[in-house]
């Protein structure tokens, strides 16, 4: 979309769709791109909320000129300094030399460190306001959601929350912009993938932010990535609340690392046992082929986790070791884990999976299963037992009709 789009009274979307970047933060796949959302409030004083990634500066300036003509851009509100939001700031100051930048004290230091900008910066504190004429903005600091300088901006006139990375997700907006124009099942899944991999580690801070914002009457949630929520803004806030409380659904994720199919056979047997026990929601991942971001997303969603790994050169299979590193970093809570390992000439995998299960807030479901070379009937029966135990424990956590 190469033109500005009206969001609400005197408020416009001036964002960009990025189909060129393959990996967000050089880590997370973008099969359907990503948006960089920024917003202009065109009042007696004009204010831009955040900018775009550097390569899209020309688009942004064209949209600004199309709305403002030769009028000045008075303010730039910087909710977050990560370069996918702030990348256009330095050149934007060249286009609008009198532009006043609004940010908190943490923002000020980052503006200097990233862009050598020190002049015409207005520092705001939590709850401070800015009068634009008919629109009054208030600023609310939400540190570590997910950087220390992060804040959100609320427009009291239109009841719009400009939420920065909070409530945002992957996926470009090709045509539709709002939640009532889009396939929200897809976008909510991509919001969860964004949350679980980037924000989820900071869930306690997310909870503090949600509590802080409860007093605001929010009609529109306008994040920096993904859809704008105007039909049902409460839903995306509720989802964030659930995810940051580590609330899960009654389902399981089965992840296996297998070179020759023997460990995969063990994982499939556990999955079959859970299916026989009535577990319908299962996500199944070959860790050599599923990107870790999708695996983490599913693990964040479901109560149960099965990890099955072969041993590789006396240690954990490398793709499984990478997943374990990510899971430790995410600091998930309140989930159940079952572990299976295999080896031929030297043990290693099961011991490392055991260390992982013992290291965090995980309930280890017995039995643990370790197989030498290939599983035989007695080994597969243990796998069946693990699947049955996992299913039974998961079902005990949920009442009928509840996810």
**Do 96 and 54 belong to one domain?**
yes
Q: Which residues on adjacent β-strands are paired with residue 283?
A: 253
- Asked if residue 211 is part of any domain, the answer here is yes
- Looking up tokens 């995810």 gives 243
Mean pLDDT of 167-176: 96
Of 224, 244, 264, which closes a domain? 244
Query: What confidence tens digit (pLDDT) does each residue in 82-119 have?
Result: 999 999 999 999 999 999 999 999 999 999 999 999 99
Q: How far apart are CA 253 and CA 275, in angstroms?
A: 12
Query: What confidence tens digit (pLDDT) does each residue in 45-92 have?
Result: 999 999 999 999 999 999 999 999 999 999 999 999 999 999 999 999
Tell me the residue range of the domain where 206 lies. Answer: 5-244
Q: How far apart are CA 56 and CA 295, in angstroms?
A: 31
Going by pLDDT thresholds of 50, 70 and 90, the confidence category of residue 2 is: low
- What CATH number corresponds to the domain at position 51? 3.60.15.10
Report the SS3 class of residue 248. coil
How far out from the chain centre does Cα 253 lie?
Answer: 19
Query: What confidence tens digit (pLDDT) does each residue in 187-214 have?
Result: 999 999 999 999 999 999 999 999 999 9
pTM, whole model, 2 decimals?
0.95
**Do 30 and 88 belong to one domain?**
yes
- Asked if residue 174 is part of any domain, the answer here is yes
User: Can you give the pLDDT at residue 397?
Assistant: 78
Helix extents (H) in 245-363: 262-276, 292-301, 318-330, 349-359
Going by pLDDT thresholds of 50, 70 and 90, the confidence category of residue 6 is: very high
- Asked if residue 28 is part of any domain, the answer here is yes
Going by pLDDT thresholds of 50, 70 and 90, the confidence category of residue 25 is: very high
- Asked if residue 402 is part of any domain, the answer here is no
Q: How many domains does the chain fold into?
A: 2
- What CATH number corresponds to the domain at position 367? 3.40.50.360
User: Can you give the pLDDT at residue 402?
Assistant: 43
Q: How far apart are CA 231 and CA 237, in angstroms?
A: 13
User: Can you give the pLDDT at residue 396?
Assistant: 87
**Do 219 and 269 belong to one domain?**
no
Q: How far apart are CA 7 and CA 4, in angstroms?
A: 9
Pair of tokens at residue 158:
């239109």
**Do 89 and 210 belong to one domain?**
yes
- Asked if residue 403 is part of any domain, the answer here is no
Work out the burial of residue 54: count CB atoms within 10 Å of its CB; fewer than 13 is exposed, 13-18 middle, 19 or more buried.
middle
Closest CA to 192 of 150, 256, 249, 275: 249
The secondary structure element, H or E, covering residue 223 is strand 220-223
**Do 233 and 257 belong to one domain?**
no
């Amino acid at each position: 979309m190469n033109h500005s789009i009206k969001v609400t009274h005197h408020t416009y979307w001036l964002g960009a769709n990025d189909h060129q970047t393959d990996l967000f933060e050089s880590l997370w796949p973008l099969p359907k791109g990503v948006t960089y959302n920024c917003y202009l409030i065109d009042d007696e004083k004009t204010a831009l909320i955040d900018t775009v990634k550097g390569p899209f500066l020309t688009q942004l300036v064209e949209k600004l000129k199309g709305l403002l003509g030769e009028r000045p851009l008075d303010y730039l509100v910087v909710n977050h300094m990560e370069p996918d939001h702030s990348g256009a700031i330095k050149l934007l100051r060249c286009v609008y030399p009198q532009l006043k930048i609004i940010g908190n004290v943490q923002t000020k230091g980052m503006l200097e460190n990233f862009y050598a900008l020190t002049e015409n910066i207005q520092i705001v504190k939590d709850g401070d306001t800015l009068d634009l004429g008919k629109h009054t903005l208030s600023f609310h600091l939400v540190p570590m959601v997910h950087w220390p300088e992060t804040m959100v901006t609320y427009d009291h006139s239109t009841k719009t929350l400009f939420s920065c990375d909070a409530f945002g997700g992957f996926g470009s907006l090709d045509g539709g912009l709002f939640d009532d124009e889009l396939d929200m099942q897809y976008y909510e899944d991509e919001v969860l993938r964004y949350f679980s991999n980037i924000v989820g580690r900071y869930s306690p801070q997310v909870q503090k932010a949600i509590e802080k914002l409860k007093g605001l009457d929010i009609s529109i949630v306008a994040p920096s990535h993904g859809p704008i929520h105007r039909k049902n803004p409460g839903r995306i806030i509720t989802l964030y609340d659930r995810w940051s409380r580590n609330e899960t659904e009654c389902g399981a994720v089965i992840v296996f690392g297998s070179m020759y199919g023997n460990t995969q056979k063990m994982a499939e047997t556990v999955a079959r046992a859970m299916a026989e026990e009535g577990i319908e929601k299962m996500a199944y991942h070959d860790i050599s082929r599923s990107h870790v971001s999708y695996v983490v997303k599913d693990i964040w969603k479901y109560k149960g986790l099965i990890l099955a790994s072969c041993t590789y050169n006396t240690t954990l299979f490398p793709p499984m070791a990478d997943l374990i590193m990510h899971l430790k970093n995410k600091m998930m809570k309140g989930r159940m884990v079952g572990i299976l390992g295999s080896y031929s000439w030297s043990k290693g995998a099961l011991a490392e999976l055991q260390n992982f299960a013992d290291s965090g807030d995980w309930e280890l479901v017995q039995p643990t299963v370790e197989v030498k070379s290939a599983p035989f009937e007695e080994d597969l029966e243990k796998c069946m037992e693990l699947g049955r135990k996992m299913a039974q424990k998961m079902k005990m956590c949920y009442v009928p009709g509840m996810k």
